[in-house]
Amino acid sequence: MPIITTPHEYNEEELYIDLRPIFGQSLYLKCEAFNFAGSIKLKAAAEMVAAAERDGLLRPGSTLVESSSGNLGVALSMLAASRGYGFVCVTDSRCNLSTRRLMESLGAQVHVVTEPDADGGFLGARIAYVRALCAADNKYLWLNQYANPNNWKAHFRRTAPAIARQFPSLDVLFVGAGTTGTLMGCARFFREWRRPVRVVAIDSVGSVTFGGPPSRRMIPGLGTSVRPQLLDESFVDEVVHVPEVDTVRACHQLARRGFVFGGSTGTVVSGATRWLAEHDAGPEVTAVTIAPDLGERYLDTVYQSNWLNDLYGAEENLLSGTR
């Protein structure tokens, strides 16, 4: 049995769900939520913190500060509590209340940005606040998940090799694009692998990551209003953009079969199953996608009737066919 002394030591890497009975497409979903931070972001957080400690940037009395829509903030809250650092998470009004409360329970301070930047949206406003905080006091250290190479290195070293071990005949990998850390780490790994793998990025409609026009996005996780510095499109074979209504439908379709996942998972599953259908991919094609977290932090949004009705119209029309 596993026995640990610090929370980041535990992470279940080898759980996959066969989605064919639910969506009719040959697709395996890698579940990344089974650790004490509850998401794949624990890997990037641990890698970035360890690198900052090795480089002498983190010292006793330091306070980490990061812009996050939720999951990285939770992971850093956990690590900061475990290692004795302070932590300030700068988020915005789209961050789920349960996520904010979880960070605060771990001792973090949460600052909520309520007004978007004219050019950079909420993300631009969050980053501006982080920069101002660091300029005012040198006790603050910004890890900067959007540009920190240790973000993608975590997935180059751990996530992608874990997939390769389980699926040596992998043909297509679908990866959601947020900071693009997971995407870049996996894409770089499979570019160097012994056999070709098609890497398809899944993004939200309204995200500017791949040059699309900005528009309203209400589900946190994937998509950006400022292009991530980590992104190198030369490693990406294709991009699929998913409307938020399709994200919600995929989440509810999974829930009707007993699997409650977050919005990012709904997005990648919707985009991946659409791509497979459009390419007539049969059972001989081995395809994998990644579920960054579970759905308990989305119960007041993606799974809440009033929230859905206010944003997307009548719930019965939105979710027709998923029940």
Residue 71: pLDDT over 60: yes
Of 114, 67, 126, 70, the C-alpha closest to 96 is: 70
| Any domain includes 164 | yes
Whether residue 45 is found in the same domain as residue 191: no
Q: 63 has which bridge partners?
A: 86, 140
Distance CA(212)–CA(204), nearest Å, equals 10
Contact between residue 199 and residue 237 where contact means Cβ atoms under 8 Å apart: yes
The values of phi and psi at residue 227, to 5°, are: -60, 130
Question: Domain ends where: 117, 142, 167?
Answer: 142
Question: Domain ends where: 84, 117, 142?
Answer: 142
Quickly list DSSP for 271-314. Answer: HHHHHHHHTT--TTS-EEEEE-BBSGGGTTTTT-HHHHHHHHS-
Distance CA(85)–CA(107), nearest Å, equals 10
Whether residue 92 is found in the same domain as residue 165: no
Query: Helix 244-255 to helix 305-312 angle, to the nearest 10 degrees?
Result: 150
The values of phi and psi at residue 243, to 5°, are: -65, 150
Distance CA(156)–CA(164), nearest Å, equals 11
Residue 286: pLDDT over 70: yes
Identify the residue with better confidence: 92 or 321: 92
Distance CA(116)–CA(108), nearest Å, equals 23
Please count the other Cβ atoms lying within 10 Å of the Cβ belonging to residue 68. 25
| Any domain includes 84 | yes
**Could you report the per-residue pLDDT of 9-46, keeping only the tens digit for each?**
999 999 999 999 999 999 999 999 999 999 999 999 99
The model's pTM is 0.93
Total structural domains in the chain?
2
How high is the pLDDT of residue 144?
A: 95
Structure tokens given for 261? 């996942």
Mean pLDDT of the 57-77 span: 94
Range of the domain at 270: 7-34+158-318
Whether residue 47 is found in the same domain as residue 30: no
